[in-house]
Structure 1
Amino acid sequence: MKGPTLLASNLIRLKNLQLTGKLVSEELMLGIHASKRSGIGVEFEQYRHYEPGDDPKRIDWKLFARTNKHLIRESSTESDRQVRFVLDLSGSMNYAENGVSRLQYAQILLASLAYLGYVQNDQMSLYTLQTGSVQTVVAAGASSSGKQAFQKILVGLEKTVAGGTWFPVDHHSLKFPEFQSRNTEQFIFVTDLLQVGEEWLNFIKSLASPRREIVVFQILGDQEMDFNLKGFYRFKDLETGREIELDAESVREKFMESSGSYLKKLKEDLQIPYVHLVQARLSDPLGMVLKSFLTKRKG
């Protein structure tokens, strides 16, 4: 599977999170043109195939051991950032279209980013947000890099189950474990960003700082964006369980107006220092979404 064929619907059939993450990230490594500075927390460097005349010393032998491919890395500098992955596990992450749930899409996306971090020896940790609290799945620490950290994150992702709500009464009550380091850190959120008030917005703003950068992947379905439904449907709130039956065509205009207004305002509100928003649909190829992230980081 190459390029645009790396759809979540195809990858899910493999039933192997490690393989899917590896496929997406390796495709990306050979295709993206980025800064020579390393680390997904900064910008991902470019890899290319070894060619006659290249100095063999420039081959990334660690990557060769994992991929059996002779790849030249444009810079030998390794990342020293702490990358914290944060997965929304509220009930709305169970929303699905064409056999792909938001949670499954998020799992593959994070597995792909974790593989990139593994290749570059990033320090990585994993957290989930559910029922008003932060749960540590893989803790940060001096030994949180390399293959061991990657494997722990995969195991943690495979065990995740979405349900209920996540937002607290006060976002100040949400605390991530402190990790003493002189290095800057990056939080990568994967969520639908659906909120009752402005709990997501306030939470993200409270975290962003010169030493802490925030990247938010907002995953939405095509129907959530386009609402091309006809006839009567029973709509269910996946977090509260409330149901309502409506004629889809009669509410489409109002839905599109409200949805468009919300997404536009959210995008504007998150145009703040040290915050990057990447919006994606469940039908978007994973590689395309990650390339959007890395290109935006470079810019």
Structure 2
Amino acid sequence: MGVARASHSGARFLDPAVLARISNLELLARTVVDGFLNGLHRSPYLGFSLEFAEHRQYMPGDDIRRIDWKLFGRSDRHYIKLFEADTNANFSVLLDVSASMSYGSHEVSKLDYARYLTACLTFFSNRQRDRVGLVTFDHDIVEYVPPSMKHMDTILHLLHRASAGRAGSLREPLVKITELLGRKGIVVIISDFYEHPDEILSSISLLRGRGHDVIVFHVLDPAELSFPFEDSSSFEDLETREQIPVIPNRLRDDYKRLVSEHVESVEHRLTENRIDYVLLDTSKPLDLALFQYLLARERWTRKR
């Protein structure tokens, strides 16, 4: 099933262009995640309902609203309630750092947006006591951080220095990643997915075949979707460096049709194979992506 396109009225939807002014990725992630959680608690529609699982002793930084005061009255100790989605999981983000991700028609490139999104997702999951990991890839694995509750600082450091340079492909890195990840967990893949839909499905299915829950964030620039260009010019293929002369007005309708068909084809193939899919353009608020992830995770929990 695809991820429902829902929203929550209480969340602070922060503009990525504003967030780009925050150079510290930990501060950026904390800002988005705290705003998201505060909005979620205030919202009359939370969008999910989680079943109680167990208690854990209160630790500094835990949400005091989760303290079980009845248990405190009996034990004179502070415990918080854990729910099914809070139980520890291996959580890994696979981040595409290939050359095409460097494109941006405004302040935020696709890679910038993907870096911010990765920081927010890993920060959120680490706060939920998940073991978080990171893989950056182009046509091969660039960096690998195995899932751990102690790797958040390493992940933020690698995200800060991540850059797009080489041509990319999914197959080879995902074959290697599938072997590296081992035990099943939650895998998030963030990419612009400029490959044939059949190849995308074939590559990602390797992870599903090992029992991982997979959610795909398909990140595109608004200009890649709308093709707003007017003047005749040359366009550069960011991965081959080929220069292509273009008269935009003559190509716009065909271009938009082809992009729409590609996006719909990718979404259809993935969702038909129980891989969650979310299309995001780089102007979309990051906490919207967090909400989509939380909906998907709650659904996975119910299926277990």
- Output one character per residue of 1:263-290: Cα deviation in whole Å (capped at 9) or x when no partner: 1111111113441011101110111222
Aligned counterpart in structure 1 of residue 121 of structure 2, from 94, 108, 113: 113
Does the 8 Å contact 2:109/2:221 carry over to 1?
no
**1:153 maps to amino acid:** I
- Matched residue, 2:291: 291
- Matched residue, 2:36: 28
Write the distance in 2 (CA, Å) between the matches of 1:206 and 1:177. Answer: 10
**1:163 maps to amino acid:** G
Does the 8 Å contact 1:87/1:106 carry over to 2?
yes
Write the distance in 1 (CA, Å) between the matches of 2:173 and 2:143. Answer: 17
Secondary structure (helix, strand or coil) at the match of 1:100 reads coil
- Matched residue, 2:202: 202
Write the distance in 1 (CA, Å) between the matches of 2:143 and 2:87. Answer: 23
**1:278 maps to amino acid:** V
Does the 8 Å contact 1:212/1:274 carry over to 2?
no
**2:32 maps to amino acid:** V
Q: Which moved more, 1:94-103 or 1:30-39?
A: 30-39
Write the distance in 2 (CA, Å) between the matches of 1:169 and 1:274. Answer: 19
TM-score by length of 1: 0.80
Write the distance in 1 (CA, Å) between the matches of 2:288 and 2:178. Answer: 30
Write the distance in 1 (CA, Å) between the matches of 2:141 and 2:293. Answer: 24
Distance 1:79 1:198, change over 3 A: same
Aligned counterpart in structure 2 of residue 103 of structure 1, from 107, 111, 116: 111
Secondary structure (helix, strand or coil) at the match of 1:161 reads coil
Secondary structure (helix, strand or coil) at the match of 1:270 reads helix
Flag structure 1 segments of 5+ consecutive residues without an equivalent: 40-56
Write the distance in 1 (CA, Å) between the matches of 2:103 and 2:256. Answer: 18
Shift of 1:298: 3.4
**1:76 maps to amino acid:** L
Secondary structure (helix, strand or coil) at the match of 1:204 reads helix
Distance 1:127 1:291, change over 3 A: same
Aligned counterpart in structure 2 of residue 14 of structure 1, from 14, 22, 41: 22
Write the distance in 1 (CA, Å) between the matches of 2:242 and 2:12. Answer: 37
Flag structure 2 segments of 5+ consecutive residues without an equivalent: 1-9, 41-45, 68-79, 300-304
- Matched residue, 2:74: none
Does the 8 Å contact 1:164/1:238 carry over to 2?
no
Query: Identity across aligned pairs (percent)?
Result: 22
Distance 1:80 1:210, change over 3 A: same
Write the distance in 2 (CA, Å) between the matches of 1:15 and 1:114. Answer: 17
TM-score by length of 2: 0.79
- Matched residue, 2:7: none
Secondary structure (helix, strand or coil) at the match of 2:215 reads strand
- Output one character per residue of 1:89-138: Cα deviation in whole Å (capped at 9) or x when no partner: 110100112110111101110111111112111011111111x2224431
Write the distance in 2 (CA, Å) between the matches of 1:290 and 1:186. Answer: 14
* Number of positions where the alignment pairs a residue of Structure 1 with one of Structure 2: 269
Distance 1:38 1:274, change over 3 A: farther
| Root-mean-square deviation (Å) | 2.7
